[in-house]
Amino acid sequence: MAYPVVDAPYGLKPINLIGGQVFAGSTREYAIANGYSTSIFYGDCVALVRGNLERISVSTGTLGTLVGIFLGCSYTNPTTKQKTWSQYWPASTAAGDAVAIVCDDPDTVFKAVVCSATTAVASGARAMIGQNLAMINNTGSTLTGDSKNAVLAPNDTPATTDALPLRVLGLVTETAVSLGSATYSSISTATVTCSALPFALPVGTDVGSLDSSGNYIPSGSFVDTAASAGATSFVLNQAPSAAFAASATLVFNQYPEILVKLNHGQHEYYYATATA
């Protein structure tokens, strides 16, 4: 089965719960204040402020602020006077009955796109699983109603601090892109010299090698700085966990989408201090 090319971020999309539980579409409704002046898009992070739901920027996270992910809303259209169900909340809408639909289960697993900056699609890697990552705060689309928030591809070693909003749970293999291979020459600290790359390597590209029997060996590292097609070297976030064999075949895979969960202390339900 062919999967579509992932060419842009879309916020956080719920797919299941940790422990293999099914996401059955269970949500909670929260009020949106009449005339709230910020648009909220499907997949955006949201918080409670004085009992009303508001969009929140969580680039690096703030403990105990997130209540969940916005999945649409309803309100009485001030022009048509008709009840409207919308993918996003249009900023400054005059509606006193606005209600947001929120995925608020702290155990929800989300799918998200990894970007190096704004909406430039990058890659996740096996070495990121179990680590904490930041997000990129982008304004969503009024055409589709979808968020454009993304997961920030890390450089160097991913941070472990609890201040970051997301924990990486896995990679989405269905939309992975095999970028090909190159022949290993040498390494100096984390800079790898190889045969000319016939392809560009985005930040976060997963790097491994093949043994003499053709079995895949994960490096425990990923591409730290984007490399251009034709380059004869690239930089890893850190030295591989096992040294590459002489003249080994290096294998590069891009994972535009990863699986994440809201970090434990970020969610209001898992933070003892209540919202002011």
Neighbours of 70 (CB within 10 A): 31
| Res 63: pLDDT | 74
Query: Which mean pLDDT values do the consecutive 10-residue runs of the chain (276 residues) have?
Result: 82 93 91 98 95 90 85 97 97 98 96 95 96 94 97 80 89 96 96 96 97 95 96 96 95 97 87 73
Q: Which two tokens stand for residue 185?
A: 């020459």
| Res 122: pLDDT | 97
Neighbours of 262 (CB within 10 A): 29
In angstroms, the CA 136 to CA 117 distance is 7
| Res 87: pLDDT | 97
Distance of CA 143 to the CA centre of its chain: 22
- C-alpha separations of 147 from 40, 59, 138 in Å: 8, 14, 8
| CA nearest to 145, candidates 101, 183, 205, 107 | 101
In angstroms, the CA 132 to CA 215 distance is 29
| Res 250: pLDDT | 98
| Res 1: pLDDT | 47
